[in-house]
Amino acid sequence: MSSKTESLLSILKLQPVVPVLIVEDVASAVPLARALVAGGLRAIEITMRTPAALDAVKAVAAEVEGANVGAGTILNGRDFDAAVKAGSTFIVSPGVAPGVLSAAKDSSVPLLPGAATASEVMTLREAGYDVLKFFPAEQAGGSAYLKALSSPLAGTLFCPTGGISLKNARDYLSLPNVVCVGGSWVAPKELVSAGDWAGITKLASEAAALKG
């Protein structure tokens, strides 16, 4: 196992659920991250889907003690490098592209690349990746599909993301090839907009207590 894989696993194993966040306003990033950390969710993915995302990563990396902030929805090498410069401790991509793999090869920051089919998993394994994001999880076949991959693709671990909630998270976490799940339900938009950080800490605590 490579040092980057070990580093990635040490982050993903901090908790059963990695919050997947869309941050619209950088001012909410720090209190949101602090609320999640207070609830036991220290590894946090901020997706690069808004103009505020990079600044949100910078703010959380600099100001939130105990947080491991990563950048998600990385689609090319330029975005990979920018996210690393902002302070990301891990990088997440919904799929894989040559530019992303090239940037990851040259960086000490670990990449969690996405895969949705057996062929994509095999391709990433050949490239040296044994820990992958299964995305979009529910739409691509759900926990039953992922379970079916566990024997022929033994040794590969997944962080399923997409359509996962408190209701079905255990279906994934009970699988032998799942290290954690990614989910946005721990930071609903209405609670973030209202600044209900206590409410988010409560949701984070429920998620942190999940087991397979």
CATH code of 36's domain: 3.20.20.70
Please give the mean pLDDT across all residues of the chain: 97
Supply the range of the domain harboring residue 178: 1-205
Please state the domain count of the chain. Answer: 1
Residue with tokens 């409560």: 202
Domain membership of residue 211 (yes or no) is no
- Say if CB 112 and CB 91 are below 8 A apart: yes
CA distance 72 to 21: 9
Does residue 32 sit within a domain? yes
Residue carrying the six token digits 């954690």: 180
Q: Which residues are catalytic?
A: 45, 133
Provide mean pLDDT across the span 51-71: 98
Query: For 119-131, how does the pLDDT look when each residue is reduced to its tens digit (9 = 90+)?
Result: 999 999 999 999 9
Give domain status of residue 181, yes or no: yes
In a domain? residue 12:
yes
In this structure, is residue 127 part of a structural domain?
Answer: yes
pLDDT grade, residue 211 (50/70/90)?
confident
- Rounded to 5°, angle at Cα 202 from 198 and 204: 115
Report d(CA 86, CA 65) in Å as an integer. Answer: 16
Does 212 fall in a domain? no
In a domain, 93, yes or no: yes
Query: What is the per-residue pLDDT across 129-169, written as a single tens digit (0 to 9) for each?
Result: 999 999 999 999 999 999 999 999 999 999 999 999 999 99
- Domain annotation covers residue 210: no
